[in-house]
């Protein structure tokens, strides 16, 4: 397959997203914004700020989820 300029295309995978906004992190974890903000206030999950935007690292979200107790 080629581009309109005749150059070959590269089938590269999409980059894996690393930073999640508060709403994206809530969707990723299946939690409400209220619960996630409460977890931040109680230092159970780490977040960063860029201006007014709260950002969560994917690894931190995965660590938080893995550390939750297993209850059925």
pLDDT of residue 3: 63
Number of other CB atoms surrounding residue 20 within 10 Å? 20
- Specify the DSSP class assigned to residue 10: -
Give pLDDT tens digits for 14-69.
Answer: 777 889 999 999 999 999 999 999 999 999 999 999 999 999 999 999 999 999 99
Domain ranges for the chain, please list them: 19-67
Phi, psi of 49 (to 5 degrees): -120, 140
Of 4 and 39, more confident: 39
0.85 exceeded by the pTM?
no
């Amino acid at each position: 397959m080629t581009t309109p300029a005749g150059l070959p295309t590269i089938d590269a995978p999409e980059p894996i997203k690393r930073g999640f906004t508060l709403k994206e992190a809530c969707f990723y974890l299946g939690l409400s914004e209220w619960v996630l903000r409460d977890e931040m206030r109680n230092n159970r999950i780490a977040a960063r700020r860029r201006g007014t935007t709260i950002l969560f690292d994917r690894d931190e979200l995965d660590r938080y989820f893995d550390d939750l107790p297993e209850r059925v």
